[in-house]
Structure 1
Amino acid sequence: MLNLQSPSFLRRVLLADAAAGAVTGLLMALGADTLESLLQIPAALLQSAGIALLPLAALIVYVATRQQPPRGAVWAIIICNALWTLDSFYIAFSGWISPNTLGQAFIVTQAVVVAVFAELEYFALRKSRALAAC
C-alpha cells in the first residue's frame, strides 16, 4: 500500500513516472513501424515522441535521486506532463492524424496515465512542503 504521508512518496512517484516514460519511449522509438500498422499513427510521430521521452525520463530520474528533489524541477516535470496530456488529446481528436480506434485508445490511455503522474507529483510536492513545515 502507498504511504501518502511518507517523505519518499514524491521520489517514488517521480521514479515511476520516469520508468513509465522510458518504457513507453523505447516502445515507440524502437517499435514505430509495427505500431504504425497497428494503431494508424504515423511512425515518424511515434518515433520522435518516443525519442523525446528518453531524455525526459533521464531528467526525472536525476531529479528523483536528489536528496531533496528541487521544487522548481518538480514543477517543470508537472507542467511537462500536463502539456503532454493536452497535446495527446489534441493529436487524438483534432484530425491532424487519423488513428484507428486502437490508436485513439493508445493515445488517450497514455495521456491519462501521464495526467495521473502529474496529479500525484503535485499532491506529493504539496505534502512534502507540508511535512517540511512541521
Structure 2
Amino acid sequence: MSFLSSPSFLRAVVWFDAATGVLLGTLHLALTDTLSQWFGLSAGLVQGSGVALLAYALLAGGIASQRRLPRGLLGCLAAGNAAWALGSLALLLGSAVAPTVWGQTYLVVHVVSVGLLAEVQWFGMRRLPTLAAA
C-alpha cells in the first residue's frame, strides 16, 4: 500500500485542510479591512470567504474526527476544494476584481495549494473501498 493512499495519510490531509481553513477564515474575519486593501479585493469578498472557510473547516474537522472516513463526504471536500481553486482562478483571470500584486500572489497560492488538496483528497477517497477490503 502506498503512503499516499493510506487512510492515516488521508486523515492527516483532512486535518491539515481543516486547520488551514480555521486559520485563514479567522484572519479573513479579523483583518478584513487590512486584507481588502493589501489584496485589492472588496471587504465583502474577504469577509464572505472568511465565513465560508470557517464553515468548510468545521465540516472537514467533523469528517477527520470520524472513526471511518466517509467516502461521500470526502468527495464533497474534494469538490469544494476544486470549486475554491477554480473560483480563485476566475478572480485572478477575470475582470470582476482588480487584485494588487499581493492579491494576485494570494490567489495563485490558493489555486495551486487548494487544487493540490482537492486532488489528494479525491485520490485518497477513491482508494478507500480498496483499503477497506484489504
Scaled by the length of structure 1, what TM-score is found?
A: 0.92
State the secondary structure of the residue aligned to 1:60: helix
Amino acid corresponding to residue 51 of structure 1 in structure 2: V
Which residue pairs with 2:39 in the alignment?
A: 39
Q: Could you tell me which amino acid in structure 1 is paired with residue 15 of structure 2?
A: L
Q: Which residue of 2 aligns with 1:24?
A: 24
Root mean square deviation, CA, Å: 1.5
Stretch of structure 1 that moved more, 4-13 or 34-43: 4-13
CA contact (8 A) 2:29 2:47 kept: yes
In structure 1, how many angstroms separate the alpha carbons of the residues matched to 2:39 and 2:56? 24
Instruction: Name the count of aligned residue pairs.
Output: 133
Aligned partner of residue 18 in structure 1, secondary structure: helix
Q: How much has 1:27 moved relative to structure 2?
A: 1.1
CA deviations 1:40-86 (Å, max 9, x no partner) are: 11111101111111011011100111111111111011111111111
Query: Which residue in the other structure is 2:76 paired with?
Result: 76
Q: What is the letter of the counterpart of residue 69 of structure 1?
A: L
Unaligned runs of 5+ in 1: none
Corresponding residue for residue 14 of structure 1? 14
Q: Which amino acid counterpart does residue 35 of structure 1 have in structure 2?
A: L
Contact 1:10 1:128 in 2 (8 A): no
CA distance in 2, matches of 1:22, 1:54: 5
Equivalent position amino acid for 1:118 in 2:
A
Q: Gaps (5+ residues) in structure 2?
A: none
Structure 2 length-normalised TM: 0.92
Question: Percent of aligned positions with the same letter in both sequences?
Answer: 36
- Give the match for residue 125 of structure 1: 125
Equivalent residue of 1:4, what SS?
Answer: helix
Q: Distance in 1 between matches of 2:5 and 2:72?
A: 21
Amino acid at match of 1:42: S
The aligned counterpart of 1:99 is 99
